[in-house]
């Protein structure tokens, strides 16, 4: 089932979301617990990971009401320092920042980027075709999505990000807890 949707309720962080001829990055976003369910999403290179987050939320019909992170290693909170997160999930004080730097040095390397997703343009990621990373939404419920970089195209005169393909029915974000 192919479908093209317009993301209406998410405003791209980048002003360049109508530019024709820009690099368009194509991602296949699969539920980690059921990879038969996926959405194909196009994002402009000048848009941010926060824009991709908004498209994933829209594509799966979720409420954008929790924190999220992207883990470029594919595993949440592993030894890799490459994490891009919801702007409200930033370290709250200098002690947290120093602890992260110290932990990285103990592991024998310098700390890698850990930035708000609003500051990371998709084109800056140096992605390789078929590269996969983890999108974790809602740290409590732990919705995990595998994001695969499928390839690149040239943008058209449409609104980005956009959903260009899908398979499977979206799961419900919240279960009903009725007594009946």
* CATH, residue 119: 3.10.290.30
Identify whether 179 is part of a domain. no
Quote the pLDDT of residue 20: 67
What DSSP string runs through 72-123?
TTSSTTSS---EEE-GGGS--SHHHHHHHHHHHHHTTSPPPPEEEGGG-BGG
Stronger pLDDT, 27 or 96, i.e. the higher one: 27
Which range among 62-66, 77-81, 139-143, 157-161 shows the weakest confidence by mean pLDDT?
A: 77-81
Identify whether 15 is part of a domain. yes
Q: Is 18 helix (H, G, I), strand (E, B) or coil?
A: coil
Quote the pLDDT of residue 19: 63
Identify whether 174 is part of a domain. no
* DSSP strand pairing (132-137 vs 68-71): antiparallel
Identify whether 173 is part of a domain. no
Residues with Cβ within 8 Å of 19's Cβ and at least 6 positions away in sequence, in order, are 44, 46, 155
Domain interval for residue 32: 5-167
pLDDT in tens, 85-110: 998 887 666 777 777 677 767 766 65
Quote the pLDDT of residue 2: 36
Identify whether 10 is part of a domain. yes
The number of folded domains in the chain is: 1
Quote the pLDDT of residue 81: 62
């Amino acid at each position: 089932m192919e479908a093209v949707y317009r993301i209406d309720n998410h405003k791209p962080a980048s002003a360049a979301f109508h530019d024709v001829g820009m690099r368009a990055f194509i991602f296949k976003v699969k539920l980690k617990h059921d990879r038969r369910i996926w959405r194909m999403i196009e994002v402009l290179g000048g848009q941010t990971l926060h824009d991709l987050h908004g498209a994933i939320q829209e594509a799966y019909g979720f409420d954008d009401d929790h924190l999220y992170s992207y883990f470029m290693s594919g595993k949440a909170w592993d030894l890799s320092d490459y994490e891009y997160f919801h702007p409200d999930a930033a370290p709250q004080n200098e002690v947290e920042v120093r602890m992260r730097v110290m932990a990285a040095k103990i592991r024998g390397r310098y700390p890698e980027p850990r930035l708000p997703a609003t500051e990371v343009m998709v084109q800056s990621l140096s992605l390789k075709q078929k590269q996969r990373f983890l999108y974790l939404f809602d740290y409590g419920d732990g919705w995990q999505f595998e994001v695969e970089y499928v390839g690149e195209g040239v943008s058209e005169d449409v609104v980005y990000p956009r959903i260009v393909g899908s398979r499977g029915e979206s799961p419900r974000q919240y279960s009903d807890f009725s007594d009946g």
